[in-house]
Amino acid sequence: MIILLSPEQLVAHESVVVNGLFEKGLSLFHIRKQQFTDMEMVAYVGNIDGGYRKQLVLHSHFHLANELGIERLHVREEDRKQNKQHAFMDGFTLSTSVHAITTFNSLDAVWKYAFLSPVFPSISKKGYGITHTVLEDLRRRNNPHVRLVGLGGVNEQNCRQVFDAGADDIAVLGAVWNNTRPIQAFNSMYKTING
């Protein structure tokens, strides 16, 4: 499964790209637009084909989830550490982020999946993952209850390595959004993984 994260800042024709990616097999789309007003978030989600609503994941604006028909929420690591997920445990599928395999291994089954990053040096965050990556740590995974999603620097050339190291799924950002042909970049990765 390939999960795509939105860029934090708007990209030209973003919703057109997202709809095109869903048509090409995108599994889940994480919406990272913390700076949006409520009206902007409603408009943004409204531009994504309604048939994909169950594949959208909010990183913010949780109070709009029911109104928007979104059933998936991503709780940031710092919010998880403060147990803020308890307000959303009923009726939502939850995911989170971690940066160490030991943290991943300690997650309980309330989490459907967790991003573990960076598996490679980041494409979108310059300098992130240059001195330390977690790819080799994936082999120390011992949590059978939570799906492990490799994030950080994943692209068409290295995506297979992430699965081979023990990840269940991958998440991408820069490999798609920093490409002048985002749909083709995604499609190449999809074919690499799925044949």
Domains, the chain: 2-194 (3.20.20.70)
The mean per-residue pLDDT over the stretch 123-150 comes to 82
pTM for the full model? 0.92
Q: Check whether 124 has a pLDDT greater than 70.
A: no
**More confident of the two residues 123 and 112:** 112
Q: What is the pLDDT of residue 142?
A: 96
Under the banding of pLDDT at 50, 70 and 90, the label for residue 146 is very high
Q: What is the DSSP string of the chain?
A: -EEEEPPSS--TTHHHHHHHHHHTT--EEEE--TT--HHHHHHHHHTS-GGGGGGEEESS-GGGHHHHT--EEEE-HHHHHTTGGGGG-SS-EEEEEESSHHHHHH--TTEEEEEE--SS--SSSTTTTSS---TGGGGG---SSSEEEEESS--TTTHHHHHHHT-SEEEESHHHHTSSSHHHHHHHHHHHHH-
Q: Check whether 122 has a pLDDT greater than 80.
A: no
The mean per-residue pLDDT over the stretch 26-31 comes to 97
Under the banding of pLDDT at 50, 70 and 90, the label for residue 126 is low
Q: Check whether 127 has a pLDDT greater than 80.
A: no
